[in-house]
Chains A and B, each alone.
Chain A
Amino acid sequence: MASSFSRALSCRRNLGILSLLGGSVTAGFLLHRQRVSAGAERRRYPASAEYPDLRKHNNCMASHLTPAIYTKLCDKSTPNGFTLDQAIQTGVDNPGHPFIKTVGMVAGDEESYKVFAELLDPVIKERHNGYDPQTMTHPTDLDAGKLQSGQFDERYVLSSRVRTGRSVRGLSLPPACTRAERREVERVVVDALSGLKDDLAGKYYSLTQMTEQEQQQLIDDHFLFDKPVSPLLTCAGMARDWPDARGIWHNNQKNFLIWINEEDHTRVISMEKGGNMKRVFERFCRGLQEVERLIQERGWEFMWSERLGYILSCPSNLGTGLRAGVHVKLPLLSKDPRFSKILSNLHLQKRGTGGVDTAAVGGVFDISNLDRLGQSEVQLVQTVVDGVNYLIECEKRLERGQDIKVPPPINQFK
């Protein structure tokens, strides 16, 4: 318990209240904590009796959770009380996804990544192309000025978007957070966002207080997010207490948007119609840095480490947490048998225009970066810019009846 109290103090939240609470919380904790001794103590089973049956499973957690690792970690918990069983529950309950090898586990808080490192590090390594958290460091670079030629041919690129997530240090993540913590995340972030100005000035729409009209507008703008239905998320406990403390903030110009308490504390999105990825990325970086500054003014900060970059609920989103993408028309290229190989070599992935798990419509694809960790934001968006430009070139060549070339695979971890 001492560690969580000292962490609370180091948050520098509201020093007045904390100094009062410091003593009384301890006393309160001792007074309130009763245990009824009626009935038998819970049976304890050896780790071997508890080890999950993963024979039918195909996810990263299942690939790396050996009985030995399970035995070593199953009695541990983070200072907040998050356990290994909780971390892996989603992967036990969801043996596999037909198209992607899912991660199969989540973090309940920042400390999960340390306490369960013996399992998380190999999972991270597999998911992020060999990135080794034990020996490597992750570069963060939000200097949008470095991006080169970020204007796409708008006869092909219909829209451009960059998203990431940010977690507020000192509060548990969506799989584990209490209602009070979730509400605190909402308070802290909404308060900070109210300080945004000029083209970033905007408004917050809480899911619990939204009017019917506001709801309809948000749906029309394609901004409203729904209660998660994917079992990957619900089995990890992310939909608990819905819609309490969930909401959407967006600027008046409707091109900078923040989701609060969905799959992460915050998801930050910059988007616009057309192919000006440079402007989208510039606004993304500027907005993010402003929000970070505003949060720091109030005594908070984002979860970040040199080893893992920005810390998020799902290990797949570590590092930059960044997915930069476009909706692009590639009717000819997408039918070419070399399409997948080209994407793969360019470190890009395709999705349908409805997002993950959807199909393409009318030859329009969502093309985005595959990688998240081990390269910076600038590097990843550059990869998307260069890659999409190449794809458009291919499409144009095919239109002219010319042949195309599969590009060589780009380097990992520049």
Chain B
Amino acid sequence: MAKNCHNDYKMKFSVDEEFPDLSQHNNHMAKVLTKEIYGKLRGKSTPSGFTVDDVIQTGVDNPGHPFIMTVGCVAGDEESYEVFKDLLDPIISDRHGGYKPTDKHKTDLNFDNLKGGDDLDPNYVLSSRVRTGRSIKGFTLPPHNSRGERRAIEKLSIEALASLDGEFKGKYYPLVGMTDAEQEQLIADHFLFDKPVSPLLTCAGMARDWPDARGIWHNDNKTFLVWVNEEDHLRVISMQKGGNMKEVFRRFCVGLQKIEEIFKKHNHGFMWNEHLGYVLTCPSNLGTGLRGGVHVKLPKLSTHAKFEEILTRLRLQKRGTGGVDTASVGGVFDISNADRLGSSEVEQVQLVVDGVKLMVEMEKKLEKGESIDGMIPAQK
């Protein structure tokens, strides 16, 4: 049912009557949405029936996050970014460092272009990981898709992944019907994802019908992992212990491209365009959708007065070892690229590789009681 009857009904109320109360809010959507923009967009809907109220609901329901400036809106399908561009373009610009509606995004998944990355000191760098998301063209996104669509996405993904071989040969574990033994193994491997509890996601409708058509695929080597129908159609993860980011990135690029080939053959390539790069549910993940990072021991550097500044200049961000919204434990931090849109995959991973290498050297200096003032980098 593409027609959004409920939105038509809503039009009988005025803009003033419907405009959300954003007086307590601090997210990108609240900063950009005016009555004018709302008035202009409220009568529209994408071909699948997604409306501006659907886009902003999560931002209305979640006024702000204590630590990060959240985006406060989601896309329901590929067309959302076009139909609601008057709202989304300014949000994208705020979130992605001034990215303009006319800017072009570079995609580069040629792992040979990465310099170094195979020599991060494993005494400090405990593990390396690269993740991204992919949306499958022709389907609506997790905030909006129906059970039928979600199941079709799962079916297609299973077929595609089943045809992988060599280092990528693996198995799919649907959440529905998972045995206790399988579940425990996946938890022990740190692979199992849970039903989203964050209201940022639940208010956007991403947890509907859980766990229907959700699952986890991983290769036999347990170094390449795909989440199906969590926050995006697909989340693709390459990881391993130690500091060989080069190898992690190689496997990431090769695996992604193999998967893309297969989807294309089924006439369902990935959502991508010249301006926004890879199209994902949350505007924060546009572009590369890539988060490349390490778990690294920086007990001294992390308490240094200039730690935050160093990270900012290196275009990196820190998280606890439990991921976003967690605290670090024992001086071990998750350090990853801050950017997603406007630079390529190679460029972003290069920043991580170079930046982490520098920070490990700083840590070593601090261990020896030496100053690091001469090593503070310029803004990248």
Contact = CB atoms under 8 A, between A and B. Distances in A.
Interface in A44-101: 44-46, 49-53, 75, 77, 79-83, 85, 89, 92-93
Given A37-B47, A40-B47, A180-B17, A92 B8 contact: no
Interface string B107-144: 00000000000000000000000000000001110000
B139 A32 contact: no
Most buried by A among B4, B9, B83: B9
A82 B10 CA distance: 12
A241 B60 contact: yes
A235 B207 CA distance: 9
Given A38-B79, A179-B17, A1 B44 contact: no
A181 interface: yes
A35 B46 CA distance: 6
Contact of B78 (A39, A53, A240): A39
Interface in B1-45: 1-2, 4-14, 17-21, 42-45
A93 B21 contact: no
A31 B21 CA distance: 26
A393 to B, nearest CB: 48
A50 B13 contact: no
A244 interface: yes
Contact of B47 (A35, A85, A235): A35
A176 interface: yes
A77 B82 contact: no
Most buried by A among B5, B7, B48: B5
B57 interface: yes
B44 A180 contact: no
Given A85-B146, A89-B208, A208-B21, A178 B47 contact: no
Nearest to B151: A49
Nearest to B212: A53
Given A33-B43, A43-B139, A240-B61, A81 B5 contact: yes
Contacts of B212: 52-53
Contact of A80 (B9, B44, B49, B208): B9
B191 interface: no
B18 A50 contact: no
Contacts, number: 137
Contacts of B140: 42
Given A179-B20, A180-B17, A80 B147 contact: no
Given A38-B82, A39-B77, A92-B208, A241 B61 contact: yes
A140 interface: no
A75 B202 CA distance: 25
Interface string B321-356: 000000000000000000000000000000000000
A362 interface: no
B138 A82 contact: no
A29 B11 contact: yes
Most buried by B among A29, A35, A52, A184: A35
Given A39-B77, A79-B9, A180 B43 contact: no
B210 interface: yes
Contact of B209 (A1, A4, A92, A181): A92
B155 to A, nearest CB: 10
Given A92-B208, A244-B20, A42 B2 contact: yes
Contacts of B203: 240
A28 interface: yes
A81 B19 CA distance: 20
A32 B11 contact: yes
B369 interface: no
Contacts of A49: 147-148, 151-152
A43 B4 contact: no
Interface in A153-185: 176, 178-181, 183-184
A34 interface: yes
B202 A234 contact: yes
Nearest to B44: A34
Given A49-B152, A179-B17, A244-B21, A36 B46 contact: yes
Contact of B48 (A42, A52, A234): A42
B178 interface: no
A50 B149 CA distance: 8
B13 A180 contact: yes
Contacts of A36: 44, 46-47, 79, 82-83
B69 interface: no
B272 to A, nearest CB: 13
B27 to A, nearest CB: 14
10 contacts: A25-B11, A39-B46, A39-B78, A45-B152, A82-B6, A89-B209, A180-B13, A180-B18, A241-B20, A244-B21
Across the A-B interface, the 8 shortest Cβ-Cβ residue pairs: A32-B43, A45-B148, A81-B6, A81-B5, A42-B48, A180-B13, A180-B17, A49-B148
Interface of A: 1, 4-5, 8, 21, 25, 28-29, 31-46, 49-53, 75, 77, 79-83, 85, 89, 92-93, 176, 178-181, 183-184, 208, 234-235, 239-242, 244
Interface of B: 1-2, 4-14, 17-21, 42-49, 53, 57, 60-61, 77-79, 82-83, 138-140, 146-149, 151-152, 176, 202-203, 207-210, 212
Given A35-B47, A42-B77, A53-B176, 5 more contacts: A38-B82, A43-B152, A49-B151, A52-B209, A183-B17
